[in-house]
Structure 1
Amino acid sequence: MAPVAPSSQPWVEKYRPKQVKDVAHQDEVVRVLTNTLETSNCPHMLFYGPPGTGKTTTALAIAHQLYGPEMYKSRVLELNASDDRGINVVRTKIKDFAAVAVGSGSRQGGYPCPPYKIIILDEADSMTEDAQNALRRTMETYSKVTRFFFICNYISRIIEPLASRCAKFRFKPLSEEIMSNRILHICKAEGLTLDSEALSTLSSISQGDLRRAITYLQSAARLFGSTISTKDLISVSGVIPQDVVQSLFMACKSGDFDVADKEVSNIIAEGYPVSQMLSQLLEVIVNADKISDEQKARICKKLGESDKCLIDGADEYLQLMDVACHAMRALCNMPEELHFS
Structure 2
Amino acid sequence: MNEIWIEKYRPRSLKDVVGQKDIVDRLQSYVTAKNLPHLMFAGPAGTGKTTSAIALARELYADSWKGNFNELNASDERGIDVVRGKIKEFARTAPIGGADFKIIFLDEADALTSDAQAALRRTMERYSRTCRFILSCNFSSRIIEPIQSRCAVFRFRPLRPEDIKKNLGQIAAAEMLSIEDDALDALVHVSQGDMRKAVNSLQVAASLGEKITVELVYHTTGMARPEEVKQLLEVALSGEFIAARNRLDDIMISYGLSGEDILKQIHRTVFELDIPDYEKVRLVDRTGEIEFRIVEGSNERIQLESLLAYLALVGENRADSAD
Q: TM-score, normalised by structure 1?
A: 0.85
**Counterpart pick for 1:14 among 8, 16, 22:** 8
Residue 150 and residue 138 in structure 1: after superposition, are their counterparts in 2 closer, same or farther (change >3 A)? same
* 2:321 aligned partner: none
Q: Which moved more, 1:172-181 or 1:317-326?
A: 317-326
CA contact under 8 A between 1:47 and 1:171: conserved in structure 2?
yes
CA contact under 8 A between 1:252 and 1:260: conserved in structure 2?
yes
Match of 2:52, as an amino acid?
T
Cα displacement (A) at 1:81 = 5.5
Q: Aligned ranges for residues 212-227 of structure 1 at < 5 Å?
A: 212-224=197-209, 226-227=210-211
* 2:79 aligned partner: 86
Cα displacement (A) at 1:242 = 3.9
Cα displacement (A) at 1:12 = 0.9
Provide the rounded CA distance (Å) in 1 between the counterparts of 2:107 and 2:296: 26
CA contact under 8 A between 1:50 and 1:153: conserved in structure 2?
yes
Provide the rounded CA distance (Å) in 2 between the counterparts of 1:46 and 1:307: 33
Instruction: Report whether the alignment pairs 1:327 with 2:321.
Output: no
Provide the rounded CA distance (Å) in 1 between the counterparts of 2:146 and 2:289: 33
Provide the rounded CA distance (Å) in 2 between the counterparts of 1:184 and 1:178: 10
* 1:28 aligned partner: 22
Q: Which moved more, 1:184-193 or 1:235-244?
A: 235-244
Provide the rounded CA distance (Å) in 2 between the counterparts of 1:310 and 1:95: 44
* 2:281 aligned partner: 297
CA contact under 8 A between 1:46 and 1:163: conserved in structure 2?
yes
Give CA-to-partner distance per residue, 1:109-149, whole Å, 9 cap, x none: xxxxx322211111222333332232111111211111111
SS of 2:275's partner is coil
Cα displacement (A) at 1:199 = 1.3
SS of 1:97's partner is helix
Percent pairwise identity: 41
Q: Aligned ranges for residues 1-341 of structure 1 at < 5 Å?
A: 7-69=1-63, 71-80=64-73, 83-102=76-95, 106=98, 114-224=99-209, 226-242=210-226, 244-264=228-248, 271-288=256-273, 290-333=274-317
Unmatched segments (≥5 aa) in structure 2: 319-323
Cα displacement (A) at 1:277 = 0.9
Q: Which moved more, 1:46-55 or 1:293-302?
A: 46-55
SS of 2:271's partner is helix
Provide the rounded CA distance (Å) in 1 between the counterparts of 2:248 and 2:314: 18
Q: Which moved more, 1:308-317 or 1:292-301?
A: 308-317
C-alpha RMSD over aligned residues: 2.3
Cα displacement (A) at 1:62 = 0.9
Cα displacement (A) at 1:257 = 4.5
Q: TM-score, normalised by structure 2?
A: 0.89
Residue 206 and residue 306 in structure 1: after superposition, are their counterparts in 2 closer, same or farther (change >3 A)? same
CA contact under 8 A between 1:265 and 1:317: conserved in structure 2?
no
CA contact under 8 A between 1:75 and 1:118: conserved in structure 2?
yes
